[in-house]
Structure 1
Amino acid sequence: MSSITPSQLFTQQTLSQQALPQNTKLPTQGEGTGSFKDFLIDSIRDVNSMQQQADHAVETMMTGGDADPAEVLSAVQKADLAFRMMMQMRNKMMQVYQEVKDIRV
């Protein structure tokens, strides 16, 4: 797996900020941007939504509905990738939790 250089990270951040509408206010470092818990819950909901959309697309295609096979495949792959990413985040958090738990005071 290749590592991300700081210049790539800056470029990605700049591109994502350019894609925002003009009236969107980005939070600054001093402002409350929500909790980590809220971020995780939102991420889990997003992954669940992607999986439900993929299931619906597959069901529509299998029952003879009007569904493009390429779009169905894209939805399934997108849901699979999001789920794998969520599982990697979970594994890393559990790993960090175990390391913190093992610290002797």
Structure 2
Amino acid sequence: MTDPLGLIGGGQLGGVGRPDMARPAADPNAPSFKDLLLKNIDEVNKLQQDAAAAIEDLASGKRNDLEGVMLAQSKADLAFKMLQGVRNQMMRAYEDIQQMRV
């Protein structure tokens, strides 16, 4: 039997390829997703703590630059919203996986 399109041998036109061809090679030195997520959570927490300290310093009179306090608060708010967006996308992906039929 002949195979003019190369489908039997796992060619590029539609045959099932080797498993190692399905995913790109991962960098062994790259941090894991978990490590990146934990690092970003820590950074957001630090930004929120810095903003809270800036507000407290402004209220107690140790600091008088309102612009700096507002900037710190805005940075913390934006970082939290970005992290919340990542969480929401992860939850949507998890729900999509749950709904997949096996």
TM over 0.5: yes
Letter in 2 for 1:40: L
Q: Residue 82 of structure 1 aligns with which residue?
A: 79
Q: Residue 49 of structure 2 aligns with which residue?
A: 52
Per-residue Cα deviation, 1:10-33 (whole angstroms, up to 9, x for no partner): xxxxxxxxxxxxxxxxxxx63321
Unpaired segments of 5 or more residues in structure 1? 1-28
Q: Percent identity?
A: 40
Query: Counterparts in 2 of 1:32-51, with a 5 A limit?
Result: 32-51=29-48
Taking the aligned partners of 1:87 and 1:99, their CA distance within structure 2 comes to: 18
Q: Residue 13 of structure 2 aligns with which residue?
A: none
Q: Residue 72 of structure 1 aligns with which residue?
A: 69
CA RMSD of aligned residues (A): 1.1
Q: Residue 94 of structure 1 aligns with which residue?
A: 91
TM superposition outliers: structure 1 runs of 4+ over 2 Å: 29-32
If each structure's helix is expressed as a fraction of its own residues, which one has the higher value?
1
Per-residue Cα deviation, 1:58-90 (whole angstroms, up to 9, x for no partner): 000001112411000000000000000100100
Question: TM-score scaled to structure 1, two decimals?
Answer: 0.70
Question: TM-score scaled to structure 2, two decimals?
Answer: 0.72
Taking the aligned partners of 1:96 and 1:69, their CA distance within structure 2 comes to: 41
Taking the aligned partners of 1:95 and 1:65, their CA distance within structure 2 comes to: 44
Query: RCO greater where, 1 or 2, for CA within 8 Å and sep 6 or more?
Result: 1
Unpaired segments of 5 or more residues in structure 2? 1-25
1:39 offset after TM fit, Å?
Answer: 0.3
